[in-house]
Structure 1
Amino acid sequence: MRKTIIVTALAGSIIFSGTANAEDHSAVDKAPPKLVVAISVDQFSADLFSEYRSSFTGGLNRLASGVVFPSGYQSHAATETCPGHSTIMTGVHSGRAGIIGNNWIDLSIKRDDKTVYCAEDERIAGTSFGDITAAMQGDYVASAWHLLVPTLGERLKKISPKSRNVAVAGKDRAALMMGGKQVDEIYWWKGKGFSTLEGRKTLPSVAALNKAIGEQIDKARPAYAIPAQCVAHSAKIMHGDGKSVGDYAFQRPEGAASIYRGSPDFDGSILAAASAVINEMKLGQGEAADVISVGLSATDYIGHAFGTEGLEMCIQMSELDRSLGEFFDILDSENIDYVVMLTADHGGLDLPERMSLQGVPAAQRIDPNLNAETIGKTVAKELNIPGDKPVLYADGPIGDYYVSRDLPEKQRQRVKDSAMALIAAHAQVEAVLEHDDLAAIEVPRGSPEIWTLAQRARASFNPDRSGDFIVLLKKGITPIASTARGYVATHGSPWDYDRRVPILFWREGMQHFEQPLSVMTVDIAPTLAALVGVEIPADETDGKCLDINGGPTNSCK
């Protein structure tokens, strides 16, 4: 019996199709799989997986029938996209990987813009990222050069030169952190299609996909049909200056391509691109095993724009499940022996306005005066520091803070001490951690749910890139003071709603079992490495191999 399956990147437009074989397959062979498919769903928290698990009928349902670790941890404190993705295919904590945040400050670089983006190469003259306009226009050179450790795909290529290492994602930082520096093909969304590294040619199949997207993306899109399980989630929640979320079904007027990323259609495009690359390169059909990393970004954009508990997220969960099911059907149609791993780079917190209505008194937005500029001016005035140059730098209200290097050493110390004391006294701040104190802490081991805040911060700390001190907020505080720019909710805290993510494995014939105890995303690379015959030395990983056979044969041996 055969059936036709389709992945649609845009409403009414067939982008990639194949023929699926519905016949039963034999149990998992002892031979390594020919294709590793590593999927990260941006902002797909363990809470979301648990909440919607019973409604899954497609790809997520298939994965839930495999090996399930419902309590995986992005164990570090800097729960952002770049740090999270840096752990998945490297097997090391983000600090060791050199990825302390999406952005950080480097006061030593020569350009005026001192903000460094995790996936840029600021060594190239004329680039900028700190200015929001430059960032949105992509006026930087995307690169994985900040990633200090190899990915699984790179390790596999080193011992097996015929293996291919590929990455496709909605964000450049997702593709680059999972793929690494040595990639055969790599693509991420930019504008109205998929882009690749500077100087690289685009595969014909991806170019064709880009053409199809370009012809459709500005057209109007009707609202999604509301699944039965989502009806109860539809409720208008007011926020900001007369704006609301909670009852939107992703209808788009003509010419509204700019909001395409924040819809379920976006993941369809990413999976269409991944399918096209697999098909054209014949991944999983060669002599050696291949790796493709796929970063699905729509859940994150939707979580930021609409929160995690409304109609919008419910529709997204349903569509993600459906799109993944069609994607796996395409892989089945190629008769590829593949293993799938799915996890997330971080979790997320719902918008405080809805949480407050649900009786969560701690839910509130951050004090707009809690930021480096305001605190720095207050400290400079207290210490009688002349001039108008900033004495304190940070990329946002939380995370890494840096003291100006233009100040004399003793004055720098006084600025740091005063700023730390002032911030620590704020009612919304849980902890302020000093650089040297964190450097002295041993990298934590053991169960991540019982790590102290300092240990969580240590996991995403890098002595050469981290700030002079790090600011952590109390539970329930959303580090967005205003929703004027369209984001109503976010992540980035050291708390479990941002740290806990599902970790799922599936392979044809794999015995289903569920491990409720905590594991970490740094365990993923060693686990997949064991399946494809890659040995990662113990001193080069912070994780451990997880036995996913569920029987007498240990997959880690």
Structure 2
Amino acid sequence: MKKNLLVLSLLMLTVSCKSQNETAVLNTKVSVSQENPKLVIGIVVDQMRYDYLTRFYNKFGEGGFKLLMNEGFNCKNNHYNYIPTYTGPGHASVYTGTTPKYHGIIANYWYDKEIKESVYCAGDDTVRSVGTEANSGQMSPSRMKTTSFADENRLFTQMRGKTIGISIKDRGAILPAGHTANAAYWFQGKDEGNWITSSFYRDNLPNWVTSFNTSEVAESYLKIWNTLYDIDTYTESGSDLNTFEGGFKGKETATFPYDLKALSKDNKGFDILKATAYGNALTTDFAIAAIDGEQLGQDAITDVLAVSYSSTDYVGHNFGVNSKEVQDTYIRLDKDIERLINALDAKVGKGEYTLFLTSDHGAIEVPSYLQSVGIPAGYVDNKANKEKFKAFMEKTFGASDLIENVSNNQLFLNREKLALLNLDLEVVQKKIVNEIINYPNIDKVYTASAMSSTSFSNGIEELIQNGFNQKRSGDVIVVNDPSYISYSKTGSTHGSGLNYDTHVPLLFYGKGIVKGSTFQKTKIVDIAPTISALLGISFPNGATGLPLEFVLE
């Protein structure tokens, strides 16, 4: 009996010790998992197709894109899961973890059905400009309906974790930074060349911004833009002289080199920098100044720095996907990203920050170029379609003014006029669909009623539905044929649900990130939940994406 009691006591002691050891191990794990990065840096490269990583890979250095790809985690099959693939919706989706259906940023500009006029995704006439007399500072994130992960980090840290947004474009700085940001800064070009903000954030520019603006850094980039390396080595892009590029006013050909100082006179002054590789360099300069000026990542409370490189988009729109200008811009951007990473290592500490890099959308090869090599592509004849559609509306409904607005491949019906003519909304929508689907180079047409009443789980229909906001979107949604656009015959654009617009990079690097890669399909809306999971904070309140567990340690 005593022997049994002794065995039982030893067994209980063993269990107790095991339990204590497990508790100690568990507590250790919790302690480690709660040791968050000092700084999260989100980089959005505007209009960056995924294949730019692979196409220009051999021209990159070891410390920029290659470092992120080889020492971080590379999601090689990352896509946007909605239409339209525009800048405003893209930046909002990256940081909110959801689509326009929920966050409400359905385009850069859209028709507001209540006030009967076009509105800008970041526009806000209730605030004033700070740093300029122009109205370009009247901006805020007020039209974005949901929180960003930066907002959730601010709430979690009792507003002690800072958030700063930076971009040449206002919307590229404002939407990622969210509603609770300490500040968002964007570039005021023309004859100013300054970084500005809005009274939504603060009433004056901080000293570090004023110092940067008076340092003449912007002026220093009004110089010759030539290729970084011998142009003959740029074998990953087309010929420099061709008929598929726009170029700058005051220069007969869209060919290197470009004298930006001389050309600035005919191209809105400092605005010319936006459409060159130097706009990215200027953005990097300002981002590094922000790390110092705001003391980001200098304590144990996680800060967020949202950086968007906008010049890649301006260059792509002007010169096109296959241009020497695009290639040089990415070769130079690689150097800027390396410079930013080096600054983070020095100022925040290597292994003390987490960084992700993605894009807000891709871009189509210039359709006129695709035509020249035998690929189906082209331009929608909007003028002919408009005349044909007007005749249809008069014949069918006895009125040509039933359409209130056409924008973003959507038609908005005049509800008051429909009621006056005693016309059924859904019937009119369906008749318009049956008409437009017969027009050349129109692939699909859908009614708002279908988007509101039917649940789509795949295909282009799912993408349209994810981008459809019942209160803000139009009555009829039109989808063009693949590689057919409404645009000039020079330069590239974007907006579709096809792979050239949806497939974008997604790279994670730094603290809490494993080294590796995957071809598993990931979605842009997975980024915010992944960062939220890493930080142990609430997901953005409208998030529909899922954490990418395989990315996290």
TM-score exceeds 0.5? yes
In 1, the alpha carbon distance for the partners of 2:299 and 2:504 equals: 33
* Cα shift readout 1:296-336 (whole Å, capped 9, x = no counterpart): 11111111000011101110110110110011111111143
- Larger displacement relative to structure 2 (70-79 or 507-516): 507-516
- Give 1:255 deviation, angstroms: 5.4
Cα distance in 1 between the residues matched to 2:472 and 2:434: 22
Pick one of 163, 168, 186 that aligns with 1:188. 186
Q: Following the alignment from structure 1 to structure 2, what is the Cα–Cα distance between the partners of residues 239 and 454?
A: 32
How far off is 1:412 after superposition?
6.6
Residues 347 and 498 in structure 1, CA contact (< 8 A), matched pair in contact too: yes
Would you say 1:73 and 2:87 are equivalent positions? Answer: no
Question: In the alignment, is residue 60 of structure 1 matched against residue 76 of structure 2?
Answer: no
Equivalent positions of 1:359-370 (< 5 A) are 359-360=374-375, 362-369=376-383
Matched with 1:391 is 403
Could you report, residue by residue, the CA deviation over 1:25-74 in whole angstroms, capped at 9, with x for unpaired residues? xxxx7521110000100011112222223332131111112100011111
Give the match for residue 538 of structure 2: 535
Counterparts in 2 of 1:230 and 1:381: CA distance versus 1, 3 Å: same
Which of 146, 150, 156 is the aligned partner of 1:149? 146
Alignment map for 1:404-553 (pairs within 5 Å): 404-409=414-419, 410-411=422-423, 413=425, 416-442=429-455, 444=457, 451-480=458-487, 482-483=488-489, 488-507=491-510, 511-536=514-539, 540-548=542-550
**Whole-angstrom distance in 1 between the partners of 2:66 and 2:312:** 17
Find the counterpart in structure 1 of residue 226 from structure 2. 223
Alpha-carbon contact 1:118-1:173 (below 8 Å) kept: yes
Paired with 1:220 and 1:490, the residues of 2 have a C-alpha distance of 27
> In structure 1, what residue type is equivalent to 2:371?
S
- The runs of 4+ residues in structure 1 deviating greater than 6 Å are 240-246
Deviations 1:239-297 (A, max 9, x none): 59999876434442425133211101001111111111111111111231111111111
Of residues 347, 369, 372 in structure 1, which corresponds to 2:362?
A: 347
Structure 2 residue aligned with 1:9: none
Matches within 5 A, 1:167-186: 167-186=165-184
Secondary structure of 2:345's counterpart equals helix
- Rg larger for: 2
Contact 2:46–2:361 (Cα < 8 Å) also in 1: yes
Distance in structure 2 (CA, Å) of the matches to 1:272 and 1:70:
29
Match of 1:36 in 2: 40
Q: Deviations over 1:178-197 (max 9, x none)?
A: 11111102101222221111
Distance apart, 1:498 and its partner CA: 0.3
CA contact (8 A) 1:218 1:254 kept: no
Change (3 A) 1:380 1:140: farther
Task: Tell me how far apart the structure 1 counterparts of residues 323 and 310 of structure 2 sit (CA, whole Å).
Answer: 18
Q: 1:39 to 1:250 in 2, by over 3 A?
A: farther
Partner of 2:140, secondary structure, is: coil
Maintained 8 Å contact 1:47/1:497 = no
Pair 339,250 (structure 1): closer, same or farther in 2 beyond 3 Å: farther
State the alpha-carbon separation in 1 of the partners of residues 127 and 288 from structure 2: 36
37, 48, 52: which is aligned to 2:52? 48
Q: Which amino acid aligns with 2:73?
A: V
Deviation of 1:523 after TM superposition, in Å, equals: 0.7
Q: Which runs of 5+ in 1 are unaligned?
A: 1-28, 128-136, 445-450
Following TM superposition, by how much is the alpha carbon of 1:520 offset from its aligned partner in structure 2, in angstroms?
0.7
Change (3 A) 1:389 1:267: same
In 2, Cα distance between equivalents of 1:177 and 1:83? 9
**Is contact 1:250-1:263 (8 Å) kept?**
no
Tell me if structure 1 keeps the 8 A contact 2:97–2:543: yes
Closer, same or farther: CA 368–436 of 1 in aligned 2, 3 Å: closer
- Residue 528 (structure 1) shift: 0.9
Question: How far off is 1:541 after superposition?
Answer: 2.0
Could you tell me the TM-score, scaled by structure 2's length? Answer: 0.82
Residue identity matched to 1:495: L
User: Partner of 1:197 in structure 2?
Assistant: 198
| Change in CA separation of 1:215 and 1:434 when aligned onto 2, cut-off 3 Å | closer
The answer to whether the 8 A contact 2:228-2:332 is kept is: no
Residue 427 of structure 1: CA displacement? 2.1
The one-letter code sitting in structure 2 at the alignment partner of 1:405 is R
Q: Deviations over 1:383-442 (max 9, x none)?
A: 4645x856341225x2x2101233133447465444323321112111111101111233
2-structure distance, mates of 1:500, 1:315: 21
2: distance between equivalents of 1:215 and 1:209?
Answer: 9
Counterpart for residue 211 of structure 2: 208
Q: What secondary structure, in the 3-state scheme, does the structure 1 residue paired with 2:304 have?
A: strand
Per-residue CA deviations over 1:80-101 (Å, capped at 9, x if unaligned) read 0011111111111222111111
Single out whichever of 45-54 and 300-309 deviates more from structure 2: 45-54
SS where residue 54 of structure 2 aligns?
helix
Q: 1:49/1:456 Cα in 2 relative to 1: closer, same or farther (>3 Å)? A: same
**In the aligned structure 2, how far is the partner of 1:298 from the partner of 1:100?**
22
Cα distance between partner residues in 1 of 2:272 and 2:210: 22
Are 2:246 and 2:491, in contact at CA under 8 Å, matched by a contact in 1? no
Contact 2:296 2:303 in 1 (8 A): yes
| Aligned equivalent of 1:248 | 256
Contact 1:235 / 1:311 at 8 angstroms: preserved in 2?
yes
CA spacing shift, 1:453–1:139, aligned 2, 3 Å: same
- Counterpart contact for 2:411–2:475, Cα < 8 Å: yes
- Two-structure CA RMSD over aligned residues (Å): 2.8
Q: Conserved in 2, the CA contact under 8 Å of 1:107 and 1:405?
A: no
Q: CA offset at residue 104 of structure 1?
A: 1.3
Q: SS in structure 1 opposite 2:215?
A: helix
Question: Could you say what secondary structure the match of 1:342 adopts?
Answer: strand
Percent identical across equivalent pairs? 24
Q: 1:108 is paired with a residue of what secondary structure? A: coil
Segments of 5+ residues of structure 2 without an aligned counterpart are: 1-31
Query: Within 2, Cα distance between the matches of 1:383 and 1:216?
Result: 59
Partner of 1:89, secondary structure, is helix
- Contact 1:376–1:391 at 8 Å: present in 2 too? no
Counterpart amino acid of residue 35 in structure 1: L
Matched AA of 1:334: K
Matches of 1:158 and 1:534, distance apart in 2:
9
Query: In 2, are the aligned partners of 1:224 and 1:251 still within 8 Å (CA)?
Result: no
| Kept in 2: contact 1:404–1:412 (CA 8 A) | no
**Scaled by the length of structure 1, what TM-score is found?**
0.82
Whether the aligned pair in 1 keeps the contact of 2:224 and 2:257 (CA below 8 Å) is no
